[in-house]
Chains A and B, each alone.
Chain A
Amino acid sequence: MHELSIVAELFTIIEEKAREAGASRVTKVRVLIGEISGVVPELFRTAFHSYKKGTIADRARLEIKITRVKFRCLRCGKEIKTRDISSPDFSHSCPFCGSKEVELQSGRDLYLEKLELET
Chain B
Amino acid sequence: MAKSKKEVLVLEDILGSNKKLAASIRQKLRENGILAVNLLSSPGSGKTSLLEKIGFCLKDRYRIGVIEGDIETERDAERIRKIGLPAWQIITHGACHLEAKMIARIFDRIPADLDFLFIENVGNLVCPASFDLGESLRLVLLSVPEGDDKPRKYPEAFITSQVFVITKCDLLPHLPFDVERVIREAREINPKLEVFKTSALSGEGLEELCAFLEKKLEELRRQNA
Write the residues of chain A forming the contact surface with B, with a CB cutoff of 8 angstroms: 1-2, 5-6, 9-10, 12-13, 17, 21, 24, 27-28, 31, 36-39, 85-86, 88, 90-92, 100-102, 104, 108-119
Contacts and interface: CB of A to CB of B under 8 A. Distances in A.
Contacts of A6: 14-15, 130
A116 B191 contact: no
A28 to B, nearest CB: 8
Given A38-B130, A117-B5, 12 more contacts: A6-B130, A9-B14, A9-B18, A17-B12, A36-B159, A38-B126, A100-B187, A101-B191, A109-B13, A113-B10, A114-B9, A119-B3
A21 B11 contact: no
A100 B17 CA distance: 34
A11 to B, nearest CB: 10
Contacts of B10: 13, 17, 112-115
Contacts of A10: 14
A92 B4 contact: no
Contacts, number: 102
Contact of B189 (A21, A31, A85, A88): A85
B171 to A, nearest CB: 25
B191 A92 contact: yes
A92 B188 CA distance: 6
A10 B14 CA distance: 5
Contacts of B127: 1-2, 38
Nearest to B160: A108
Contacts of B7: 28, 114-117
Contacts of B225: none
Contact of B159 (A12, A104, A115): A104
Contact of B8 (A17, A91, A102, A104): A17
Given A6-B130, A36-B156, A118 B4 contact: yes
